[in-house]
Amino acid sequence: MGTDGPVRYGMVGGGQGAFIGAVHRIAARMDGQFILVAGALSSNAERALVSAAELGIDKSRTYASFQQMALAEAAHKEGIEAVVIVTPNHMHFPVAKAFLNAGIHVICDKPLTSNLQDALALEALVETSGKLFVLTHNYTGYPLIRQAQEMVQAGKLGDIRQVHVEYVQDWMAEPVEQDASNKQAIWRADPEKSGKGGCIADIGTHAYDLLRFVTGLKTQSLAADLSINVEGRLLDDNANILLRFEGGAKGILWASQVAVGNENNLVLRVYGAAGGLEWRQENPNQMWFTPLNQPKQLLTRAGAGASVAANRVSRTPGGHPEGYLEGFANLYVEAAELIRHERQGTIGTAPPSLLPTIKDGVEGMRFIEACVISHQNNAAWEALEAN
Amino acid sequence: MGTDGPVRYGMVGGGQGAFIGAVHRIAARMDGQFILVAGALSSNAERALVSAAELGIDKSRTYASFQQMALAEAAHKEGIEAVVIVTPNHMHFPVAKAFLNAGIHVICDKPLTSNLQDALALEALVETSGKLFVLTHNYTGYPLIRQAQEMVQAGKLGDIRQVHVEYVQDWMAEPVEQDASNKQAIWRADPEKSGKGGCIADIGTHAYDLLRFVTGLKTQSLAADLSINVEGRLLDDNANILLRFEGGAKGILWASQVAVGNENNLVLRVYGAAGGLEWRQENPNQMWFTPLNQPKQLLTRAGAGASVAANRVSRTPGGHPEGYLEGFANLYVEAAELIRHERQGTIGTAPPSLLPTIKDGVEGMRFIEACVISHQNNAAWEALEAN
Amino acid sequence: MGTDGPVRYGMVGGGQGAFIGAVHRIAARMDGQFILVAGALSSNAERALVSAAELGIDKSRTYASFQQMALAEAAHKEGIEAVVIVTPNHMHFPVAKAFLNAGIHVICDKPLTSNLQDALALEALVETSGKLFVLTHNYTGYPLIRQAQEMVQAGKLGDIRQVHVEYVQDWMAEPVEQDASNKQAIWRADPEKSGKGGCIADIGTHAYDLLRFVTGLKTQSLAADLSINVEGRLLDDNANILLRFEGGAKGILWASQVAVGNENNLVLRVYGAAGGLEWRQENPNQMWFTPLNQPKQLLTRAGAGASVAANRVSRTPGGHPEGYLEGFANLYVEAAELIRHERQGTIGTAPPSLLPTIKDGVEGMRFIEACVISHQNNAAWEALEAN
Amino acid sequence: MGTDGPVRYGMVGGGQGAFIGAVHRIAARMDGQFILVAGALSSNAERALVSAAELGIDKSRTYASFQQMALAEAAHKEGIEAVVIVTPNHMHFPVAKAFLNAGIHVICDKPLTSNLQDALALEALVETSGKLFVLTHNYTGYPLIRQAQEMVQAGKLGDIRQVHVEYVQDWMAEPVEQDASNKQAIWRADPEKSGKGGCIADIGTHAYDLLRFVTGLKTQSLAADLSINVEGRLLDDNANILLRFEGGAKGILWASQVAVGNENNLVLRVYGAAGGLEWRQENPNQMWFTPLNQPKQLLTRAGAGASVAANRVSRTPGGHPEGYLEGFANLYVEAAELIRHERQGTIGTAPPSLLPTIKDGVEGMRFIEACVISHQNNAAWEALEAN
């Protein structure tokens, strides 16, 4: 295989019945830059085998445990170059550790870990390992989100004054975690697996990362009022959060899993002295931009108002909608570029990457931690240590 | 004039250059239930005269001061039955007092007064006067807002869990109050005239009243983070507020005058255990209703899903949009009904009214007061005394 | 009454149970420029009396027939200056004739008459009478429609290439005219009262007038495929029409009363070499404008992109939605201006009027006639004689 | 390779600079069911080589001509099982012929050919060949389009009365085909390559296929008014078409490449006696359904109202938007299923396929032919022979 060939990867987690594993696989496959060659797809040995077979993974590279997989692949002549971690949160750290120690790059689902301590340990490990670590805050891969960031940086909005971000769903409006077949819900509602945060960890971190990505603002402190709306639930399913940023900007972050009528309603609105931007994930191919005292403009991905940054990660002409999987796949394309640079020893010449890093992951964990502490203190302001 | 004839009214404030005075006059006129026969339209004597002439008010009933007007009209054989107060906030109390003391019903723009003390004094006065007092929280007059209330009361949403209300504008994104010709901005930005609240008083109270009207929730406490985004401005132009209600529901209220790209973006979203409702003032003829686990429905004013309460205050068939003035006029129609009942001595038989009252006005002032105190305490929770 | 006072008017038709009569009355009343003082509100004597009493019309000016009313009012010292005709179509001509002959201005609902012959006779009569004749194609009163016309005239769209207009409803999807209580439906479905056109007359003429108003295009010919979708119905309830204009532009006009899910979906889309415009009546406060090779802009009534023509007929600031009644009322405001000019003998100095005239009414009747003939000829092209 | 492995395919056309070739490759790759192993990617030998290298096609299977490729692959031990044809229209027939004759399945872009004669010849050839022939009318792959078909078949709309379909773009509003670098435009505007139809062939056939797919209606006749809006252009860039269907339903089809402000605005609206459906390709994850006399419902892909047919072809949960590529890929998934059945000799047991066939392709060519003839006859009705 030449230095240009696709990246060989393995997956931990993501067996039958998992949602996000399949998403990662499609995203990795879409642009032909990755091939799946190994897996420890389930902690259930039976399921791990069956799932791997379905995916065409060779039996010799189907593993019963991630530890075994890390060792074997590190030793394999054509071993995996990257591992994709799509387990419940509490397993992100041990799995990442095993593969980093084995000298294998890591692509990891969010949130980074199930607690801040693990996150900090992982951060240290990544730094000493010299390996790549990509956290799949996939919404940052949307073309118009790239453009939004570019517009803020170019000063099109002026000084940011107010940010309003919400990530609102309704799939946990009922006690779905009590349904034994609902794997998705069960681990997310379980503090052992999810960590201290429920809604704030699962989707709040996405919203928080998105606002950071686009605005570049540094959070000074937050005040979080968390709720549990369904009897018997152990983790928050709604979070109402006030934000204060360095430099004086302020914000609101609302995350909910119980707002009936919302499927995956992630909305970002950014207002500065010179303009405003509004974007909704459920129709990600359009974004509103209002320059001060001018009519609102509808910017479309790949349309007349699309920027360099947006076009760089677009596949189809304007009006042919791209969606969630394409945005996700953009992270994989960029990860493949970095991995090939590593492969070729040219990483020093790689252009600046927009991929979410271990640092973004730690920031997300600080966010969760601060939310939980603030909430315990009756939603008092809690500082976020600078990252 | 028979007991059925239109209500004779006078206006205080609302001379040339005022926006809201003209709105009240159209709203009063639209259904033919009021006639304007007297006025003290401006504290500027010249402007008062010219404005009255333009409106066809007889010179003999054009007054240089509201005090004079109250006395003269009370003594007039065909004197006004109601006064409409559309002055800056600080004048609401003295004007209302003068007319209540003169035995004249009061229709008053919001917020009730410029401070809580005046509000409480006015409340006492209204109670002893036996006169009607209508506060024009006009958004409660929209047909679909009436339906929303009805649906909540009928349990269509189940127990309310989360309320998100926002009233977002951009007209003060620049220091418009420094433009000497901008009457609207000047008094609103002046604590002497507006009171302690800027944005929270001018539009925050509307948003707060709307959520109370629809949900019937009683606020327990709030945490308000107010901002001034324009240099030299004295009052808040953005408010990020967390709400807690009796019974455990929570909410977010966001009011802004600096969110570029928003004209008059009042949005109410209510989520309960059994369903969700979403409504936007800028297209008030439609409302989204999602029953739990069912597709979202688009309810339209006067359409197949319109309720009794909505149809009662509709004028045109579905698809013929009604707007801000029609919603406003609905309050006038209902005020006229009450005033005719008073005229005929049958007020005891009047059906329950949905009109905002002095109590709603006091609640609005408590809201402003609580926001200011919370803000002074670094957005700490501030209880709202039960009203 | 000074020369500036409101216009005294009477109404023919529009008694209890009628929809459009009430609309005209609100529109006439909204801006205080008209007072209703006389009426022959129903051909049913009982209903005429009761309706007039409800509206506060003096008994002495409540008439059993329009002929009687025309004569009496012409003789009255303070007789009506204008009559508003809101009868079924077949009565427009005789009523208009009676009042024009009595020297009284006419404001008439559309379509002009129930056949082209009457229309041409009426046109001649209006010309010799020297009286004003206003046809209430009310959609031309919307601020953004005024702006659309202005933009086309200013060349913002370049040469027009394609026009797509549709007026789509669903209220006649079932045989509602067989319900004896449905007055609206009964006469509209009756060729004796409505004329040869059903859907094309009732709403098709609105759509056709709107496209003419905005684009100024002159129709060369049309091909109309009419349908009756409900058994037993006598007039078309759906019309699919191709249009060709002088100069080479083309168009499609679709009118329907049976498209389930459409309330009053009047949409105008105009495309030229330099730009495109899109407007929907159900949210009339916004209009899309796309300059060639630039992002789409959202123009709002009274917003940053609102033009002189739009602002001239706006009452409220941007974001406070205006609706159907305000658009309708704009025609009344302009009619009142003209009538006062007539009153004062200054009509020669009046600025050019945008009000729909008798000529627009005749053009509408030619449109209906051409549709019917084309349809009888298997949708062959039928020329429209220049008007 | 087992009988379950991915399908080996080759591509003809789709070299550098082509849009649709890349789309097919992503669609084929997305679900891991196809591998690209051979290609004759350009008639330009240099470009063919470079393009193939970029795509990782082995040099030994990079061909200078499609004839050569058909022969060589047929003889290859692990030769391609299917060819994907993404050339300009005029080459579809000779290429398809070569591969069918070589015993290789064909997946072909639309329209079927550049003239009806070729289409009929190809139809005969497909039938005798016994090979699969899939025409990529990709919009039929959208989940909600599948659901729309299912709903019509289940009678949810009742008897269809009116269909309105439009496919409106603006990318040819200027003479883009005169730009020598614009490969897309050049061949599409060239009758030698595109055939007799411009806009009607390129996008009109998509719209026509979509309405047939969803409604199942059989067209009786059509009347087409075609236009050329840009000087020097040889083929239609706008088509206004009336449709009549067997059974009495009627329709309008509007296709345009010059409607400024429209990117890829494909809209389908279907109205029956019992309900209406509305869908827009630019936001394909939602569809409006209005049951007669009930509120409009917003059906979402994978949401509460999603049907079996929609869920079958969905990859992500509701609110995670899928787009154009996913819809396209659904055709590839289904093609792979059929090809594997062929491979295994079990095609007789395959469930009924929804894939567009050679027959749909012929119908599309009849549509183009009928449009052109109708247009030449001044838009007279032209019958479509039953297919």
Tell me the C-alpha to C-alpha distance, in Å, between residue C33 and each of A279, B6, C8, C36, C350.
45, 17, 9, 10, 17
At C234-291, the pLDDT tens digits run 999 999 999 999 999 999 999 999 999 999 999 999 999 999 999 999 999 999 999 9
Separation in Å, CA of A298 to nearest CA in chain B: 12
User: C162-208, pLDDT tens digit by residue?
Assistant: 999 999 999 999 999 999 999 889 999 999 999 999 999 999 999 99
Residue A184: band (very low, low, confident or very high) from pLDDT cuts 50, 70, 90 = confident
Tokens standing for residue D339: 């090809």
SS3 label, residue B98: helix
Helix/strand/coil for A318: coil
The Cα of B74 is separated from the nearest Cα of chain A by a number of Å equal to: 47
| A29 in reach of chain D (CB within 8 A) | yes
Q: Dig out the tokens for A216 from the structure.
A: 């570049």
| Percentage, residues of chain A above pLDDT 90 | 95
Note whether A294 contacts C304, CB cutoff 8 Å: yes
Give kind and range of the element (H or E) at residue D370: helix D358-376
Asked if the C-beta of A56 comes within 8 angstroms of chain D's C-beta atoms, the answer is: yes
Q: Which residues of D touch C223 (CB under 8 A)?
A: 223, 225, 242, 379
* pLDDT, chain D, mean: 96
Q: How confident is the model at residue C1 (pLDDT cuts 50, 70, 90)?
A: very low
pLDDT at residue A386 in the model: 57
pLDDT tens, residue by residue, B165-197: 999 999 999 999 999 999 889 999 999 999 999
Instruction: Report yes or no: B354 and B143 within 8 Å, Cβ to Cβ.
Output: no
Say if the Cβ atoms of A162 and B260 lie within 8 Å. Answer: no
Number of Cβ atoms within 10 Å of the Cβ of A124 = 11
Q: Which residues of C touch B30 (CB under 8 A)?
A: 26, 29-30, 325
Task: Please tell me the predicted confidence (pLDDT) of residue C386.
Answer: 56
Of A281, A321, A325, the CB nearest to D284: A321
User: Does A303 have pLDDT greater than 90?
Assistant: yes
Average pLDDT over residues B350-362: 96
Sign of torsion, CA A283 A286 A292 A296? negative
Q: Is the pTM of this model over 0.80?
A: yes
Tens of pLDDT, residue by residue over A308-350, are 999 999 999 999 999 999 999 999 999 999 999 999 999 999 9
Of the residues A277, A287, A288, A298, the best mutation for testing chain C's interface (the one with the most C CB atoms within 10 Å of its CB) is: A298
Q: B298 CB near a chain D CB, below 8 Å? A: yes
Domains and CATH numbers, chain D: 7-131 (3.40.50.720), 140-315+363-383 (3.30.360.10)
Contact B206, B266 (CB under 8 A): yes
The pLDDT of residue D73 is above 80:
yes
Q: How far is residue C269's CA from residue C287's CA, in Å, rounded to a whole number?
A: 10
Nearest-angstrom CA–CA distance, B293 and B161: 17
User: Which of D156, D296, D307 to mutate against chain B (most B CBs within 10 Å)?
Assistant: D296
Residue D183's pLDDT is 87
CB atoms within 10 A of CB B264: 20
Neighbouring C-beta atoms of residue A180, cutoff 10 Å: 7
CB-CB contact of D272 with D158 (8 Å): yes
**Which of D9, D283, D316, D332 is best to mutate for the A interface (most A CBs within 10 A)?**
D316
In this prediction, residues C296-315 reach a mean pLDDT of 96
Q: State whether A296 and C298 contact (CB < 8 Å).
A: yes
Residue D1 above 50 pLDDT? no
Given a cut of 90, whether residue C19 has pLDDT beyond it is no
Q: How far is D13 from chain C (nearest CA, A)?
A: 30
Judged against a pLDDT cut of 90, whether residue B22 lies above it is answered with: yes
Mean pLDDT of A60-82: 97
pLDDT band of residue D17 (cuts 50, 70, 90) is: confident
Phi/psi for B100 (5° steps) reads: -60, -45
D324 SS3 class: helix
Tell how strand D219-227 and strand D382-383 pair up. Answer: antiparallel
Residue A288, min C-alpha distance to chain C (Å):
10
Tokens for B324?
């801000």
Token pair of D308 as six digits? 């079996």
Q: What is the mean pLDDT of residues D188-198?
A: 96
Q: Quickly state the pLDDT bin for C3 (edges 50, 70, 90).
A: low
- A-contacting residues of C 250-279, CB under 8 Å? none
Q: Is C298 on the interface with A (CB under 8 A)?
A: yes
Structure confidence by residue, pLDDT tens digits, D101-140: 999 999 999 999 999 999 999 999 999 999 999 999 999 9
Q: Which residue on chain C is closest to B328 by alpha carbon? A: C320
Model confidence pLDDT, tens digit, residues C77-99: 999 999 999 999 999 999 999 99
Strands annotated E in A31-81 = 34-40
| pLDDT at residue number B17 | 77
Closest CA to C325 of C3, C58, C26: C26
Q: Is the CB of D56 less than 8 angstroms away from the CB of A169?
A: no
Joined tokens for residue A381: 């302001």
Q: Is D6 on the interface with B (CB under 8 A)?
A: no
